[in-house]
Amino acid sequence: MTSEVMERNLGLARECLLAPAGLAESDLDRVFGQLMGPGVDASDLYFQQRRHESWVLEDGIIKDGSRNLDQGVGVRAMSGEQTGFAYSDEIVMPALLEASRAARAIARSGDSGRLQAWQAASGRSLYEPVNPLETFTSDEKVELLRSVDAEARRQDPRVEQVIVNLSGVHDVVLVAGSDGRLAADVRPLVRLNVSVIAADGERRESGMAGGGGRTGYAVFTERDQALGYAREAVRLALLKLDAVEAPAGTMPVVLGPGWPGVLLHEAVGHGLEGDFNRKGTSAFAGRRGERVASPLCTVVDDGTMPGRRGSLNVDDEGNPTGYNVLIERGILKGYMQDSLNARLMGEAPTGNGRRESYAHLPMPRMTNTYMLAGPHDPGEIVASVDRGLYAVNFGGGQVDITSGKFVFSASEAYLIENGRVTRPVKGATLIGNGPDVLTRVSMVGNDLALDGGIGTCGKDGQSVPVGVGQPTLKVDALTVGGTQT
């Protein structure tokens, strides 16, 4: 934890969010004076300014470009299990006072919490406070898109369509809590996506690839990273042109390293978020200390990885992010918490309080969720399967946290026949039961990898950027939703 970094970020955030309205800490005292009425035991303000840009190349031309500016302040008052919330897209004193009146209406009687003296919180230094939008000139952005388009088209004459999307976000946040906590973060985020359509006679297929992280645009030109996405998208589309029907039924499944970690996000991640466990609505509720996975499995949620899409210096409640062990050698160790759920469960916050924007309430959310490497050689894992599926790329997934049932959709998969990877198969959804799928993990590879930085997680209508990862692993029985019976 570096206090200099927090002081620097606080300085940047004050200048960007408070200074234009002439607000200072003493004005915040006045807002909290109104917010912390009878019955309110904690409250916070979340100031945010978010600049976003997007550039789209299609049909070989720069077709669209857009810029968006959104700023505002969210005001939250908590009383026991109750939360009052209001927000304003104007950061000015009258709007702050109006929002505090609305938020504090949740409680009418009882002791009021006291506002503590302001103190800078501690935070991490996982990325530079750059504005990605300014790291390239417009000409350089356009040139980047064109080079990616050319690289994709150069791969194969069957490439019919190429769409390249470049986006950047500069997000400045400042959190002030009634416990005196004052925290700020300056969060860059970039992403580049390539989507291609390839055609062979009547048959058409799409392929997608991309990546990004909390940095400037230069990440895409260093080591020709973005050209690699172009080649990957084309490879996937061409591969799918040759794919046969996917099998239907329950069989051994070998999942490749990296992005297939979406398995962990859906199967166990959501079910271990504190709110669902406090309310007893998760299939994992009350199971801490129990075996929920094979002893080969250790799963962590780690918001502290430098530059990663899911990483944060502080979470959206001003708590430092953490390296949180969720499952250790198969035993359920802990939940991911925001401050409300941590307080109500008598636990410490874990730095997982996140929100989509100032206009949304924070909730326990994942950051970068992955499984640690195991002892097995990936080749040996595939060789151990007689007949099954080898799935290495996925689209999204979804989980019903109450029944524990989850799905994730393979976009690149192959049959395994007699220990060898053979034909590519069409996309298929895989379905399983979160609380027992990891108990069926019989081999874990030594090849841990994280995804490339394109994941977005949705919960209660709120989207936040996340990361996933895992080594190659074998699930002895998982249901594959193909058509071939």
Tell me whether residue 302 or residue 317 sits nearer to other proteins (CB atom).
Answer: 317
Q: Print the binding letters for residues 363-402 with other proteins: x by CB under 8 A, - otherwise.
A: --------------------------------xxxxxx-x
Residue 277 tokens read as 């466990």
Of 15, 160, 290, 377, the residue at the interface with other proteins (CB under 8 A) is 160
411 touches 236 (CB < 8 A): yes
Residue among 31, 181, 170 at smallest CA distance from 92: 31
| Tokens 């009547």, located at residue | 202
| Footprint of other proteins on 257-286 (CB under 8 A) | 279-281, 283
Residue 192 tokens read as 């580049």
Would you count residue 30 as binding other proteins (CB under 8 A)?
no
How many residues touch other proteins under the rule CB under 8 A: the total is 84
Tell me whether residue 3 or residue 402 sits nearer to other proteins (CB atom).
Answer: 402
Residue 307 beta carbon to other proteins: minimum distance, rounded to whole angstroms: 27
Tell me whether residue 5 or residue 166 sits nearer to other proteins (CB atom).
Answer: 166
188 touches 131 (CB < 8 A): yes
Would you count residue 406 as binding other proteins (CB under 8 A)?
yes
| Footprint of other proteins on 316-355 (CB under 8 A) | none
| Footprint of other proteins on 187-206 (CB under 8 A) | 197, 199, 203-206
Pairing of strands 248-255, 387-399: parallel
Residue 399 makes CB contacts below 8 A (sequence gap 6+) with: 266, 267, 270, 271, 405, 406, 407, 434
Of 15, 81, 134, 377, the residue at the interface with other proteins (CB under 8 A) is 81
Tell me whether residue 424 or residue 427 sits nearer to other proteins (CB atom).
Answer: 427
Residue 323 beta carbon to other proteins: minimum distance, rounded to whole angstroms: 30
Residue among 132, 208, 204, 202 at smallest CA distance from 163: 208
127 touches 313 (CB < 8 A): yes
Of 2, 7, 67, 150, the residue at the interface with other proteins (CB under 8 A) is 67
Backbone angles phi, psi at 134, to 5 degrees: -100, 0
Would you count residue 153 as binding other proteins (CB under 8 A)?
no
Would you count residue 483 as binding other proteins (CB under 8 A)?
yes
| Footprint of other proteins on 407-466 (CB under 8 A) | 407-409, 426-429, 431-433
* Cα separation, 270 vs 335, whole angstroms: 10
Would you count residue 239 as binding other proteins (CB under 8 A)?
no
Pairing of strands 441-444, 61-79: unpaired
Segment lying near other proteins (by CB under 8 A), choices 87-95, 124-132, 309-317, 416-424: 87-95
Would you count residue 179 as binding other proteins (CB under 8 A)?
no
| Footprint of other proteins on 288-307 (CB under 8 A) | none
Pairing of strands 467-470, 368-371: parallel
| Footprint of other proteins on 99-138 (CB under 8 A) | 99, 102-103, 105-106, 138
Residue 82 beta carbon to other proteins: minimum distance, rounded to whole angstroms: 5
Tell me whether residue 359 or residue 392 sits nearer to other proteins (CB atom).
Answer: 359
Segment lying near other proteins (by CB under 8 A), choices 211-219, 248-256, 342-350, 414-422: 248-256
Tell me whether residue 443 or residue 480 sits nearer to other proteins (CB atom).
Answer: 480
Tell me whether residue 82 or residue 116 sits nearer to other proteins (CB atom).
Answer: 82
Collect contacts of 80-85 with beta carbons under 8 A, ≥24 apart.
80/41, 81/344, 82/106, 82/107, 83/340, 83/361, 85/361
CA-based R_g, the chain, Å: 24
Alpha helices in 116-265 (DSSP H): 138-155, 225-241, 262-264
Tell me whether residue 70 or residue 224 sits nearer to other proteins (CB atom).
Answer: 70
C-alpha torsion sign, points 96, 102, 106, 111: positive
Tell me whether residue 370 or residue 406 sits nearer to other proteins (CB atom).
Answer: 406
Residue among 249, 255, 250, 269 at smallest CA distance from 443: 255
